[in-house]
């Protein structure tokens, strides 16, 4: 139990408790007469030895959220992203691609599907960084294209970016589908072997 007072912290520490236990053994030796007239040195020495051999205090790891908690936060971030995207004017082709990506992300973020940390990282990066950055870069580039006509249309880059992000999410969906197919096949083999 951690405390802000260092004296109380030491009194509750493993080192002090181990020292006290060994010191009590020294008191026991004194009561049996084995320590003789040097009993204070024996008790203090055993306390010190116990404090030295006790394991050090361990700082607990930070309480990072489990995959389910990460998914809850990611779903909340997806809702925030949707609110942002609802206010942005996008070309119809990019909007259609974004709708496909949004549907795929929503399906992947349903509870019980994604638990692999790497897959969670890819989805989090898509929701929290890649999609907002792609849309924001499009909006900024579109403004400059209107001011300086004749440059490459930003719609093309946005569509390419959304296609790449859809590909990453689709790869995760394919991996999950293949895992479920293998699970189903394994269960079929198990039931067929059990029936023999």
Q: CA-CA distance, 10 to 3, in Å (whole number)? A: 9
pLDDT in tens, 131-166: 999 999 999 888 777 666 667 778 889 999 999 999
Residue 112: which region, alpha, beta or left (left: phi > 0; alpha: psi -120 to 50)? left
More confident residue, 131 or 10: 131
Query: For residues 136 and 134, what is the distance between their CA atoms, to the nearest angstrom?
Result: 6
The Cα 113–Cα 111 span in angstroms is 6
Give the model's pLDDT for residue 67. Answer: 73
pLDDT at site 70: 85
Per-residue buried b or exposed e for 55-82, using 16+ beta carbons within 10 Å of the residue's own CB: eeeeeeeeeeeeeeebbeebbebbeebe
Predicted local confidence at residue 9, as pLDDT? 79
pLDDT at 3: 58
CB 71 within 8 A of CB 114: yes
**Two structure tokens written together for 2:** 């951690």
- Span 26-48, mean pLDDT? 88
Q: Which pLDDT score, from 0 to 100, does residue 124 have?
A: 95
- The 3-class SS string of 81-145 reads HHHHHHCCCCCHHHHHHHHHHHHHHHHHCCCCCCCCHHHHHHHHHHHHHHHHHHHHHHHHHHHHH
CA distance 111 to 148: 47
Nearest in space to 97 (alpha carbons), one of 153, 169, 152: 169
Average pLDDT over residues 175-179: 93
Distance CA 12, CA 6 (A): 10
What does pTM read for this prediction? 0.65
């Amino acid at each position: 139990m951690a405390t802000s007072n260092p004296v109380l912290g030491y009194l509750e520490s493993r080192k002090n408790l181990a020292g006290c236990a060994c010191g009590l053994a020294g008191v026991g030796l004194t009561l049996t007469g084995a320590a003789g007239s040097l009993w204070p040195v024996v008790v203090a020495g055993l306390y010190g030895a116990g404090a030295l051999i006790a394991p050090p205090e361990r700082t607990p790891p930070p309480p990072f959220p489990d995959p389910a908690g990460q998914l809850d936060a990611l779903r909340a971030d997806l809702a925030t992203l949707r609110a942002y995207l609802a206010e942005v004017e996008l070309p119809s082709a990019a909007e259609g691609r974004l709708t496909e990506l949004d549907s795929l992300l929503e399906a992947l973020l349903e509870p019980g599907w994604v638990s692999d940390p790497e897959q969670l990282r890819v989805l989090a990066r898509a929701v929290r960084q890649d999609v907002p950055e792609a849309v924001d870069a499009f909006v900024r580039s579109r403004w400059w294209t209107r001011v300086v006509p004749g440059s490459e249309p930003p719609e093309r880059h946005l569509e390419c970016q959304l296609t790449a992000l859809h590909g990453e999410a689709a790869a995760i969906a394919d991996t999950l589908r293949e895992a479920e197919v293998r699970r189903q096949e394994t269960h079929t083999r198990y039931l067929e072997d059990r029936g023999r």
